[in-house]
Structure formats: C-alpha cells, structure tokens
Chains A and B, each alone.
Chain A
Amino acid sequence: MRKHSVKSAAIVGASLLVLAACGSNKDEGSGSNGGSCDTSKGTLTVGVVAPLSGNLSALGVGIKQSAELAVDEANKKCTVKGYKLTVSAQDDEANPAKGAQAATKLSTDPNVVGVVGTLNSSVAQTVQPILRDKKIPQVSPANTNPSLTRGNDFLTAPKRQFDNYFRVCTTDDLQGPYAANYLVEKAGKKKIAIITDGKTYGEGLAAELSKQVAKKGGQIVGSEKVGEKDTDFSGVISKIKALSPDAVYYGGEYPVAGPLSKQMASAGLNVPLMGGDGIFDGKYIELGGKEGDLATSVGAPTESLATAKAFVDAYKAKFGKEDYAAYGAFSYDAANAIIGALAATVDGAAWDESKRDAMLQNVGKYSGSGATGEVKFDQYGDSTNKVLTVYQVTSAKWKDVQTGTFTG
C-alpha cells in the first residue's frame, strides 16, 4: 500500500510541475462590458415578475422578453449614463404567495431600480405593498383591475392606493363600457350573453360591460362561466344558444376564446364573439376565432403607429419569432418608462438608495411614445392613454373598425 501512495505522490508532483509551467492568464479581466458605452459605475437591474412556468407562461415569457428587448436597446443607446442594465425575471407561478416571494427577492437587491409586472391582478395585490415599502416603482403591463390604482370605490371616490404603482395598460372600467357602446349602439346587438373564465381580468371586464349595456338599453340575456382548465364548452354553448343572443361577450384570454368561438360556430351559434385586449392576438384566429369576431384594445391601431412596428421588428430580430403575446408591447413600454425615469434620475451621477424618491417621481412624470401609443401616467398611476380601438376579424386578420375614447 505504502509503495503505491509514494508512487502516486511522485506522479502527481511531476504532473503538477508540468501543469504549472503551462501558465494561464494570471489576472482576471473585468469581464465583458456592454459594447461601447461607459458602464464604469456597474450594473442596475430591472426586475420582472410574471408567470414563467405553467399554463400562463406564454404571456409571462412575452412580458419578460419584451422587457429584455427594451433593456438591450437602452444598453446599446447608452441611455443610462455610466451603468449597464440587466433584467432579472422572477417566476410568480400566477400565485400571490409566490409573487410575494419573488417581489421580496427583488426588493432586497439594492440594484433593482424598478419592476415590470405582474400579469395577474391578484398577484399584484401582494407585490404592491412589498415594493412600496422599498420605494421601488412597479409598472404593470397587464393588470386591468381598476381598484389596484383607485381603490375599491374607483368610480365614486377614487383614491390613489400605492404611490409606487403604475400601469401602461387600460382598465376594465374603460374597456368594458367602450365595448358595450360599440356592441349596442354601433353594431345594434341588443341581446348580449356573457361568458367569463372566472378570473379577475375577465370578471372585471364583464361586470363593467354589463353595467353599460343596461345603461344603453341593451339586455344581458345570460351570464355563464367556464372553468379555468375547461376545453370542451359544448354545455355552456348549448345553454347560451337557447337564449338566442345577438352577440357573446367573453371575459378572458385568447387560449380559451379562440376554441370557444370555433365551438360556437360548429354548434350552430353563429353570432360574433367579442372580447377585450386579452383576445386581441393573432393566435386567437389561429385557434379558431371566426370572421366577424370583435376585440377591443388600447391605443390606436398598430399599423398607424411607427413605434409599434419598430417594436415588432426589433422583437423579431432579437428572438426570431413574434411570441411577445398579448402584453409584450405593454411590457416593452413599461420597461422603457422605468429606464427613462432612471436615466433622468441618475443623469450622470451615481445611483444610491437616496435616489429612490426621485425615481418614483420621475416615473410619475415620464412621458414617451411607446409601442402602444403615448405612455404617460395620471395622478392615480393609470395610463393616460385612454384611446381604445375596436378590431374585427376580417379575412383571417384583425382589422380596426373604430378608434376613439370612452366618453360615457
């Protein structure tokens, strides 16, 4: 035994010498940096909280990658002087408790300057207070529940809830009634049936829509729910068909809405289906959305907006495909709002904790033209971009039919 070990020790000693002679780069370089910009002051992080796993991950990944695109462009353009920006995306699994953990993780990092997210309004409820305590601005690309910014009595007694919370998307109390006006007044659909997926987004939208339908003299003939994971809607459709509605309003997102529309048609219920920005996506048509279906979306039509086209092209160039999903453009704008405010806050100086108040104010004051139109926030943190457009499926494409603002 002993002999063996002596031998091996000798071998090892010899090889050590050989290897030592080979040498290597003896000092570690400073690593790569972000191109030609001055990034001497270090790295700042834009956080993203969105569902990156599970069945909502298509939307979540779209949010994440769009934010990455915005950060990349900012790095190339040296928007924030002296700093390189990165994205730290945290999965919230669409679960409020997990979202709270994700937000806490970001909030303990002194380099996180702002957070893009969340997708779900219920997750936003737990994320808001955590980020508020650290004065980190949160800009949501997708929360449409009006109470998040204006409190429970958002119509009668609006009151700002969180001074760090902003959103670039529209709210249910604009989008729902606008759709109602179009359906009842313009399209002449008096009998409307409602289907929702039972989640915050769809429920809120449908509730606001039905109030306005009644106001305009229309009638809600029925209100049904489909399960979150349901895929066979024949029961719901048969029930609604018996009520012979003129149109169906669906509160929810395109993965359910597309097949629902298709199944409606094959069950012989040939009325248009209308939905909110959650169904305004090319995938909706691919999944079975039929001719004549309607959707509302915030902002003027993208074709008329150079910034929107630029976003789509840049996204495609970076990720190879157009999977930014329903909220990608909003996320891009949200990230840009944070980056823009950061640039104004830092402005050549160094970032530190004392700048957080100024950062919050700068997000509030931010103004820019983004992929969804004008990006600016009102005194509650809501987007001032209240322009809405109604789109219709025409020859397998979404085509804008009416653009305007909701005026009551």
Chain B
Amino acid sequence: MSTVDTTSGKPSPLASLGKPFAAAGGVLGIVAALLPWVTFSLNDGNWPDKSTLQFFDAPFAVTGFRWHVLLLGVLILVATFAPVPSRGRVVRALGWGLTIVSLVNAVYITVKGGGLGAITAVDGATAFGGVVGLVAGVLAILAGYGIGIGPVGEWKFKISTPVAYLVLLVSFGAVLYAVAAMLTTGGVGSANPYAGAIFLSFLGFAGGLLGALSGVGYVRWISALSEQHRVFSVIVLAACALLLPFTEAGNEYWMTVAANIGIYAATAIGLNIVVGLAGLLDLGYVAFMGIGALVAANFSGAATAYFGFDLPFPVAAVIAAVVAGIFGAIVGSPTLRVRGDYLAIVTLAFGEIFTRSAQNDIGGFTNGSNAIPGIPALSLFGAEFNKSFTIGAIKLPAGVLYYVLIVLLVAATMAVFANLKFSRIGRAWIAIREDEDAARAMGIRTGKMKILAFLIGAMLAGLAGAVFAHKNGTVSYESFKFLESVTLLAAVILGGMGSIPGAVLGAALLFVLPEKLRDFEDYRLMIFGLALILIMRFRPVGLIPDAHRRAEMVERADENADEAHLEAKKA
C-alpha cells in the first residue's frame, strides 16, 4: 500500500485548520451519537432508535441512525490520525455522510414534531444531537478541503489468485448485504410512519461510507481485481443475485419489485444496443416490449386471448421475440434515410401509433381498453411461479421463481450484449455511432447494421415483454406509454451508454427509487424529477460509463468522474 502525500498544491485558507477541524468533527460526531435527538415523543409515535434516550443509559444498544452517526464519527477520527491515502477525500466523504444523516433526522423531527423545540430544548429536556451532528459534519467537510482533495489512493501491491478470490467474495457479499439492507430499511410494512426518513438517513450513511472507500482507493482496487478475474466475478455476482431471496429482502414485495426491475433491465439492455452501441436515439422503445407482451398474452390461453389455445411458454416467448424483432426491423427501416434526432421523432411516432392502436383493439389482438386479464402464471414441474416455494426447511417468498427466471434472463441478455459488443457487428455499430460517413467509407454496410441493431434490440424487448405478461397477469396498453419509453432511455443514459452493468444499475435505480420514495406520497414524482436532474448534473456520463466511451471523453472527464465511475461499479 502506498500512502501518497495528498495535500494539493493550492494553498487554502483552511489548510492549517484541516486536521483540527477533522478531529473536532470526529469527536463531535461521536458526541452527537451519544446525545438525545428528540426532546419528546412525537404524535406519530417515538422517533426510531430510542432517540430520546441518553447514550449512557444503554451504551451498547445504539441502533439505526445513532449507530451510523457513531460509526461515522469514529471513522473520521481514524481517517484523521491513521495513515490513510487521500485523507482529504475520505474525511470530506464521511463529513457529507454525517451532515446528511444529521440533516435528514433533524429536519424530519422538526417538521413532524412541530417545531425547533423538538431538536433543541423544551420542558426541561434537551436534545442537541441533531445540531451537534450537523456541526460535526460541516466541520469534517471543511476539514476535507483544508487537508486537500488529492488524487484517489492507488493500491499497487499484488496478491495471489486465491486471496483475490477471497477478497472479491467478501466484497460482493458485502454488496449483497448492503443492497438487502437498503431495500429493507424503514421496514416493509406500512406500520412505520418514519420509513421515508430512515431510508434517506441510511442512504446518506451508505453514500458517505462508499465515498470514503472510493477515496481510499479500495473501490478502484476491487474494480481492477474483478476485471482481472472477470469470469469469477460474474459467477459470484450472479450467485449473489440469486442469494438475495435468502436475505432480509427476501419477501414477496421486494421479489415483485426485483422481478419488475429485471424485466425492465433486460429491455434496457436491448435498448442499449440501439442507443448505446449504434447511437440511434429511440423514444418509442417500450412498444416492442408491449408487442412481445401482447403476443405472449394471446398465446397464453387467457379468456380474452385472440387464439383459443395456449402454447408452452418457451414457444410463446420465442414467437413474441420474433414478432417484436420484425416490428423492430420495420421501425428501423427509416434509419436508412433519417438521421439523428429526426430518427428519434420517428421512433416516438411509432410508439404513439402503437399505444393508440392497442387502445383501439387493432385487429382484435389487444382487447382494447379492457386489456387482456387473467394470464396464467408460469409453472414448471407443477411449481407455480407466483406461489411460495420451499427448499428443504427454508420457505421462500412467493414470486421467488419469477425472480430466478428473470435473473437468468438478465444474465442471458447481458451475455448476448457482451458477445455482440466485442464482435465484428458490435465494432461496426460503434463505428456508426462515432461517425457514420467514415464507417461507410470503411466498408461497413451501415443500413444493414442499423436495422440489425433495431432487430436484435427489439427481440430482447419482446422476450422481456413475454415474461412481463405472465408476471403481471394483465396486458394493457396503459403499461406501454411514452413515459415508460422515457424511463427506459433514462435507465440507459443514467447507467452509462453502452455499458452492460450500467443499464442494469440504471433500471434498478429508476425502479427502486420510486418504490422507496412511496412514503413521500405527494412529493414522490417531484423528488424523482429532481433526482434525474441532479444525477445528470454531477454524472453526465452515467454512473458506470463504458470503458470504451470513457476513453473517448478523456479530455473532458476529470479524474473526479473517474473516481465516481469506480464508485458506481462497486455499487
């Protein structure tokens, strides 16, 4: 491990205050965790984690956000005095985490408890935890700048393969644990009135930790390690995904959400071929998923299906993919002449034509506004996919088989995408994306390639749509509107165009976020809109930019972005 001297060259008025501020921040953070946070019990019930209590009454029973605050405080102290690479970054990240946790809790208590008295002093009781925490956080952030924001730490030592495997295993296991913890924070039921605050607070804590880990260079190291042992990493990641049902998050609700995420992720990967690789902006992509869903529904034996018989699911799914692919090729055909944003509007037009036609029961295939309900759940060897499922003594929640099916589907589409991307075809697409005229001059048959992109992308979407039909049991035109197309596109761009894990991460984010924001009720979509703006503001290249793309933007991409890229890869 090399501990790089991280003080930057720029003299800062804070420079001399860096370490003292950091130390003060750390100590105050610990103090904050020990102090009470609320003076009285709120109308909706106690603020979580026994926040009216002094630490000294139950010193080892700190839980929830107070435990997070304590941990952040200790870590800030450790980072201040231990030989840590890129100390400024680490302290700053932890400071942000502390600030957000304190802010979220303090603001919520003030708003829900009706006044500042709840977080200061009232009726002889005091509760300065929030204020102290906030001060500590701000001090730590300032200290970070004072110490100086140096380059991200680099770990150069080599380790043997078995050790590397072990490190990867532990790291991915931690990711699995973090994901499960994130999904379940605030509780699944509706019983907890403060679920929204608990979630945001947790997010602040996790963000701070991740920032610190990335600052130290750990994230970059793991990322390089997993690149080295790619096959092993993929297997471990897939295994982790399959293990999710066994964690705390393994309940029916999160299995349903995760299955939906998977369906959209598979579709987003298809879209990534069209947008990310071939560079053809598509604003009506969800129509292909709709077509796949409709085909599967009509072959499912549902009461209002067009065909009176049901095909086995694999056959129906293949037909769905093929039909969607044919439509993809048809929609793609104007690309022979139309370029750029003009093409975007052609695809948008196609999407609108699809919804309008489906709404009007075109050809009797869609059952119009009544939709096609009652599509039977999938079953395999007598195990119905929507029922719960037992392995030995462990009872898994309902919907877990769909989840497994979808994890496999996503893995398969990822494999297809990866193979295509590094094939001759993939390189042709990238060439078209970068410069169509030059690509043509190099002998690439651009027209054929572009239609092929649409065709393959649409087939993947059709396949996902077939699963969608059975998972949801109803196929209605209302599920395939412009907004869904936009969400898919946002998933691709948010994750990083052309990047394989990016599309999955993007889809996950766009679906988990609104679900976790449910507790904000009225403000939910507004916060979502704001989140889109902010993410693009700070990560315009996407959360996990494609390595290839990154190379293209090397002049622009500051190392800041680079760091966050690794950060996201970790997540």
Contacts and interface: CB of A to CB of B under 8 A. Distances in A.
A–B direct contact (CB < 8 Å): yes
Contacts of B256: 100-101, 104
Given A43-B191, A105-B190, 7 more contacts: A4-B19, A22-B126, A24-B36, A32-B45, A96-B472, A101-B515, A111-B189
Q: How large is the interface on B (under 10, 10 to 19, 20 to 34, 35 or more residues)?
A: 35 or more
B243 interface: no
Nearest to B39: A24
Nearest to B187: A109
A8 interface: yes
19 contacts: A5-B20, A19-B35, A26-B54, A26-B57, A28-B46, A28-B53, A31-B42, A91-B518, A96-B371, A101-B253, A106-B190, A108-B251, A109-B189, A109-B191, A125-B473, A125-B476, A126-B472, A126-B474, A133-B398
A109 to B, nearest CB: 4
B252 A97 contact: no
A22 B473 CA distance: 60
B364 to A, nearest CB: 14
A204 B126 CA distance: 62
Contact of B370 (A28, A86, A147): A147
Interface in B69-117: 80-81
A27 to B, nearest CB: 8
Contacts of B253: 101, 104-105, 107-108
A88 B52 CA distance: 26
Given A88-B190, A151-B303, A152-B304, A97 B398 contact: no
A53 B126 contact: no
Interface stretch (A73-81, A195-203, A345-353): A195-203
A105 B127 CA distance: 35
Interface stretch (B7-15, B311-319, B519-527): B519-527
B125 A94 contact: no
A198 B369 CA distance: 7
Contacts of A108: 188-189, 251-253, 397
Interface of A: 1, 4-5, 8-9, 12, 15-16, 19-20, 22-29, 31-32, 43, 45, 47, 52-54, 86, 88-91, 94-97, 100-102, 104-112, 120-122, 125-126, 129, 133, 145, 147, 151-152, 198-200, 203-204, 225
A31 B303 CA distance: 51
A270 B41 CA distance: 62
A145 B30 CA distance: 60
A10 B304 CA distance: 77
A95 B472 CA distance: 11
User: What 9 A-B pairs have minimum CB-CB distances, sorted nearest first?
Assistant: A88-B190, A109-B189, A125-B373, A31-B45, A4-B20, A125-B474, A12-B27, A104-B256, A122-B476
B52 A100 contact: no
A45 B125 contact: no
Given A95-B478, A109-B189, A32 B41 contact: yes
Nearest to A129: B473
Contacts of A31: 41-42, 44-46
Contacts of A121: 370
Contact of A122 (B27, B28, B189, B478): B478
Interface in B356-385: 359-360, 368-371, 373-374
**Most central of B24, B35, B127, B256 by chain A CB within 10 Å:** B256
B214 interface: no
Contact of B257 (A9, A20, A23, A101): A101
A152 B305 CA distance: 12
A347 to B, nearest CB: 23
Contacts of B525: 53-54
B359 A198 contact: yes
B127 A24 contact: yes
Nearest to A102: B518
A91 B31 contact: no
B433 interface: no
Contacts of B45: 31-32
Nearest to A122: B476
Given A9-B27, A24-B53, A125-B474, A203 B260 contact: no
Contacts of A15: 31
Nearest to B190: A88
Contacts of A8: 20, 23-24, 27
Given A53-B524, A110-B189, A125-B373, A24 B54 contact: yes
Interface in B245-265: 251-253, 256-257, 260
B127 A95 contact: no
B386 interface: yes
A105 B28 CA distance: 39
Contact of A12 (B28, B42, B125, B387): B28
**Most central of A20, A104, A152 by chain B CB within 10 Å:** A104
Nearest to B77: A5
**Most central of B27, B42, B81, B468 by chain A CB within 10 Å:** B27
A199 B481 CA distance: 14
Contact of A5 (B56, B81, B360): B81
A147 B373 CA distance: 10
B141 to A, nearest CB: 17
B394 to A, nearest CB: 17
A29 B464 CA distance: 51
B403 interface: no
B301 to A, nearest CB: 13
A395 to B, nearest CB: 36
A385 B189 CA distance: 34
Contacts of A47: 190
Interface in B492-532: 515, 518, 521-522, 524-525
A57 B19 CA distance: 52
Contacts of A125: 371, 373-374, 473-474, 476
A107 B53 contact: no
Contact of A198 (B31, B56, B360, B386): B360
A72 to B, nearest CB: 14
Contacts of A152: 303-304
B40 interface: yes
Contacts of A147: 370, 373
Contact of B46 (A29, A96, A111, A203): A29
A117 to B, nearest CB: 14
A126 B189 contact: no
A12 B41 contact: no
A31 B113 CA distance: 12
A243 to B, nearest CB: 20
A207 to B, nearest CB: 10
**Most central of B24, B370, B399, B479 by chain A CB within 10 Å:** B370
Contact of B476 (A86, A88, A96): A96
B34 A16 contact: yes
Contacts of B306: none
Contacts of A28: 41, 46, 50, 52-53
A16 B31 contact: yes
Contacts of A88: 190
Contacts of B370: 121-122, 145, 147, 200, 203-204
**Most central of B304, B386, B473 by chain A CB within 10 Å:** B473
A88 B36 CA distance: 30
Contact of B478 (A94, A102, A133): A94
A225 B374 CA distance: 27
Nearest to A57: B522
